[in-house]
Amino acid sequence: MDRRDFLKNGSIATVGTYFAGSTQTHLMAAPQPEPAKPIAANDHIQIALIGAGGQGQDDTKQAAQVPGAKIVAVADCYNGCLDHAKELWGNDIQTTRDYNEILARKDIDAVIIGTPDHWHMQASVDAMNAGKDVYCEKPMIHLYSDGPRIIDTWRKTGRIMQVGSQRVSSIIYLKAKELLASGAIGTLNMVSAWWDRNSAQGAFDYTVPYDASPETCDWPRWLGTAPKIPFNPEHFFQWRKWKAYGSGVAGDLFVHLFSGTHLITQTHGPTRAMSTGGLRFWKDGRDIPDVLVSLYDYAQGFNLVIRTNFVDGGAESSGFVFTGSEGSMTVSGDSVSISRVPRETEPGVRYELYSAPIQKRMLEIYHEKYPIAHPTGPVLVGEEKYVAPDNYSDHYHHIKNWIDSIRSREAVVEDPVFGFRAAGAALLSNMSYDSGKPAHWDPEEMRVL
């Protein structure tokens, strides 16, 4: 007879517990829009886009939906994106290859930076020094030295800067934060996070336009501080595949998972990372792994296991499992769910290996220490699930939070300090992977050790 059978037969009663499986689903309410009111002339926010690739266009489409926001200019190094910007936001917008022309305009209040990673720091610093508020895509940094420069400029200029990990604004993540803080799963000891893909586009193998050439692409400007090489359309349009311009799967995807982990746990980051992985499938000239797994230590007493697999053999998926002493919490897609199984209140006794007299005495001793107690009421064991409403968009609310903060001059939900801590933790994976050794980070001082 094992412990489960022993419990089932009533030899040991668990105090105050009645096993009654259940599933409760709660539809969460989306943030309510403010009552419609006229936007005063001085409340209109004029926005420019710097870097009009896929993510930059998506961010700007969200910004254009916020009442009182207007897209007035776009800078990009490819003619095709500049032409498309006029199709999206009107022929009267300014388009240019040189973002400094945009920053020189006094009538532009704010900029969205959707450039490759290696331009994030310079574009952000230039924009803030020009008196513009900034929304900068993640990861905020390409090199660790970028972080202090951005933060120092942000503090010196007093500009509003939001970093673009939109899940920080998600009602799902905020609910998960509330549940964890309430003790819903007991004491946290492990977080498992993943973002897996199984497609060419998901693996950064973006389509290169047929007209890509040195005439249609401002290659020297686009390279910036990157190594000077002859024009390469794959590098220009598929830049996430190379370290010179992007930050690999860690900078692109891990950083979202770190942002979520730090928001939900209210921590600042890990102290140590150990990474492994490799280039297993997408052997197309890229110099980053397509499978990366990292283990992280947190001073708050839990570990994070995080992975990205671009050869996952199935549909794209991402999410978290937070494991605690009293249950687990899953955050994925548009929902957060809690699964609880009450912890045992006594260890049980295994006595069947011994003779009958010894068994009898063992049970007597055990029940002297753990008297039989009868349940006094039900404790529901099952799943409690919270689901976001249809058509909810954390991306829109993240952009709107930035625009609201531009008007109010109040803090955003993801300032450069938060953004540096998330990106700094993510890039620790690359450091460990490249060196083959553990990498150490001080999340409070935000520096590599």
Per-residue pLDDT, 59 = 98
Name the token pair of 113. Answer: 């930076």
Mean pLDDT of 406-432: 98
Per-residue pLDDT, 79 = 98
Q: What is the 3-state secondary structure (H, E, C) of 185-243?
A: CCCEEEEEEEEECCCCCCCCCCCCCCCCCCCCECHHHHHCCCCCCCCCHHHHHCHHHCC
Mean pLDDT of 258-284: 98
Q: Is the pLDDT of residue 21 over 60?
A: no
Per-residue pLDDT, 8 = 34
Domains and CATH numbers, the chain: 41-167 (3.40.50.720)
177 neighbors 329 (Cβ within 8 angstroms): no
Q: Is the pLDDT of residue 19 over 70?
A: no
Q: Is the pLDDT of residue 177 over 60?
A: yes
pLDDT interval class at 345 (50, 70, 90): confident
Name the token pair of 175. Answer: 């609910």
The C-alpha atoms of residue 193 and residue 264 are separated, in whole angstroms, by 13
Mean pLDDT (the chain, rounded) = 92
pLDDT, tens digit, for every residue of 128-174?
999 999 999 999 999 999 999 999 999 999 999 999 999 999 999 99
Mean pLDDT of 210-220: 98
Q: Is the pLDDT of residue 89 over 80?
A: yes
Q: Is the pLDDT of residue 18 over 50?
A: no
Q: Is the pLDDT of residue 40 over 70?
A: no
